A and B are shown apart, each in its own frame.
Chain A
Amino acid sequence: MKKGIKILKVLVIVILFIMLLSAVSRLVEPKYATELIEGHFISEYYNEEKNHEVIFIGDCEMYSNISPMELYKTEGITSFVRGTPQQLIWQSSAILEETLTYEKPKVVVLSVNCLKYDKPVSEAYNRLTIDKMKWSKQKVDIILSSMTEEESFLSYVFPLLRYHARWEELTQEDIKYLFDSKENTYNGYLMEKDIRPVENLPTKRELSNYQFGDICYTYLDKITKLCKDNNIELILVKAPSVYPYWYEEYDKQIENYVEKNGIRYINFLDIIAEIGIDYSKDTYDSGMHLNLTGARKLSVYFAKILKNDYNLTDFRDIANVSAIYKKKLEAYNKAVLEN
């Protein structure tokens, strides 16, 4: 009996301290609400109605350049951009796998920019992709495949181990969004309205090696197989970003790959004129990403291709979906008109 009471007392203390540390952990974790908002993108998918016929996956070349609202407005296509900053190919693969546990789209569009990277880039970018993912087998896979040398798996399980030092930097955001969150995208699209034209570009540098790493092909194969096994059409795309340079040698490798695997590849850099992109007005960072006007042009152009070539539903005629999108469009159009 005495021993039992002792054990109970210890258990109570343990539980109390776990609760205390959990509360502190929640307080010090970055909220990604008004600062480093890109860290929140991955989680903005979870509360969505899972009725997307098109899923976009990739890095900032995806979430800056494609607006699902424009796809819906013009062709009634339901879509979501599961984009995160510096998303690497093995992360794209895990994110696609995770998405398929929620729904089966008809088309998956993958940005090929990530194939340039065959090693983890930085802990900071990993965090922006991974922190707000729901725990799943895919999250474990992503962590294990993405960790840089200085990182530890435990720091993802217990964020306090990573973010404890933020006790010195707590802001109002940390209190305001302690139990709440803020969405900053429109179905995964990050709206930027500034204009910074392309005036000149740095010298195009010669690389010593243009070959995509073996690991990139491994995960590209995985994505291809995942789509084939689930009867999903896969489209590889290169965004119309004029910098950093996309080399011909990269393009050749993609073309060889898609030919071998029967996949479609669209390099938007080759059809800038057709899309109507004007780099004096349509970019907010000198050609690295499109701004709202540029993204709209690209999205409208791409929507036509998707509608014509893939058997997609026009959800504007479907009551329950159109009701949801009506609300989304209200918010989106309001943001478009705001200064």
Chain B
Amino acid sequence: MNLVSESFIWFMIITTILYYLSPKKVKKYTLLMISVITLACLGWENLAYILFSTISTYLAGLCIEKGKNKKAILIGTVGINSIILIIMKIVPYINSKPEFNLIVPLGISYYTFQVISYLVDVYREKYSAERNFFHFALYVMYFPYLFVGPINRFDQIKQSLIKEENKKFNIESFYEGILKISMGFFKKLMVVSRIHVIISTITGDITTYTGAYALLAMILYSIDIYADFSGAIDIVVGFSKILQIQLTANFNLPYLATSINDFWHRWHMSLSRWFKDYIYIPLGGNRKGRVREYINILIVFTVSGLWHGANYILWGILHGIFTIFDRLRGDKKRNRPISIVVTFLLVSILWSFFIWPDTITSLKMIGSLFTTFNYVDMFQNVLQLGINLQNIILLLGCIILLVIIALNKSYLEAKMQNADITVKCTIVFLLISIILIFGWYGIGFDISQFIYNKF
């Protein structure tokens, strides 16, 4: 199942209807049942692994709270769940052998991180262990966030997911949710699909497309991965909004970051916070001297790179290095626009490891930025990169629109709060109409899975 698919749209419609038709105390169990059934329909492996994580963590949480052998139980349960995650990360390499055909369960990274955060928080006595198994199961198995996150802390989501029972259908939440879902579809079907074609053309011929083409691919990929990932999050968050469930924010205008350090406070925030709280701080954080602080940073980013895949270790390490440089530079005053541009370019260049299939080619492409200056050639041949002029104009228009929305986010949100119902409806329907007419979906358009699905 893809987030941008007819089946997920039906899933959202049916879930919403069943949720609001359920009596108030039953709503959360309805949601749990739907999540379980959906997981089972997608393959028994999905249900089996997540059930194991759910049951082991639930029991471990209760045992840790009792006090006996707390540490051993924590290490053991976290260890088992982590090992399963690590094995699943290696599966793509195992599956290259024909005798193996293992399935990676949906959302394994996201729910493993959630259960680990829960156990550590209970161990640290941040909150009590959840006694109701079904409540806990819903926290782990809430279906929509298994696709791309965000990674939610139990205490932050418990209120809206489990405790609030007296929910009535709310038109404001419904509207906000629909708008957010539409934005997600807009990003995916208007922007991402078109960029993919250009990047595929560039990466399809590494001899011809170097230098300026490589830079174009890097910049476009920056936009692509952000639109793809944030678009997916928009759909998940938007749908949850319709159900009046508040999920944690995952992005805060990452390309307005003024440094790499700042970038990681704005990009995939739920994962960054998780690494900080459950790896960086346990390692000592910045409390054990500068050298240890920088080593800890390097470890965190190496793990982050590894989590994305073995090919991305260097990417992680380089981000770690640049984060350390930022720390070394300190809080010196910088020119904000220049800092934003430099950071954006740096981040774009580092995305190279995600663009080309192997590290050497990525490094070669980065090198070509400084040796091949074929900018004129690139501009002359931009229409040979897989999409025609009409679609290039449409793509640029969509990117500009997204930038304008991002830069005026608070202002627009305030305006929309007070806008007349006619205006609100018009905006949503206009967005949906644009997607239906100009979106790249259906037969002939290969809507590949969201990039962050595979993690």
Contact = CB atoms under 8 A, between A and B. Distances in A.
A3 to B, nearest CB: 10
Given A6-B421, A13-B422, A123 B437 contact: no
Contacts of B420: 9
Interface residues of chain A: helix, strand, loop or mixed (majority): helix
A154 interface: yes
B440 interface: yes
B433 A9 contact: no
Interface in A148-165: 150-152, 154-155, 160-162, 164-165
Contacts of A24: 433, 437
Nearest to B429: A17
A10 B426 CA distance: 9
Interface residues of chain B: helix, strand, loop or mixed (majority): helix
Interface string A103-132: 000000000000000000001000000000
A168 B437 contact: no
B390 interface: yes
A168 B388 contact: yes
Interface in B410-455: 420-422, 425-426, 429, 432-433, 436-445
B443 A9 contact: no
A242 interface: no
B146 to A, nearest CB: 24
Contact of A168 (B390, B421, B426, B436): B390
Contacts of B433: 17, 20-21, 24
Interface in A18-47: 20-21, 24, 28
A14 interface: yes
A167 B421 contact: no
B440 A165 contact: yes
Given A9-B425, A10-B421, A17-B429, A164 B439 contact: yes
B6 interface: yes
Size bracket of the A interface: 20 to 34
A24 B436 CA distance: 10
B422 A164 contact: no
Lowest 10 CB-CB distances: which A-B pairs, in order?
A13-B425, A17-B429, A9-B422, A6-B421, A150-B443, A164-B437, A10-B425, A9-B421, A168-B390, A152-B6
22 contacts: A9-B421, A9-B425, A10-B421, A10-B422, A13-B426, A17-B429, A17-B432, A17-B433, A20-B433, A21-B433, A21-B437, A123-B443, A150-B443, A151-B443, A154-B6, A162-B443, A164-B437, A164-B438, A164-B442, A165-B442, A165-B444, A165-B445
Given A13-B426, A152-B6, A165-B444, 11 more contacts: A9-B425, A10-B422, A13-B422, A13-B425, A17-B433, A21-B433, A151-B443, A154-B6, A161-B436, A164-B438, A164-B439
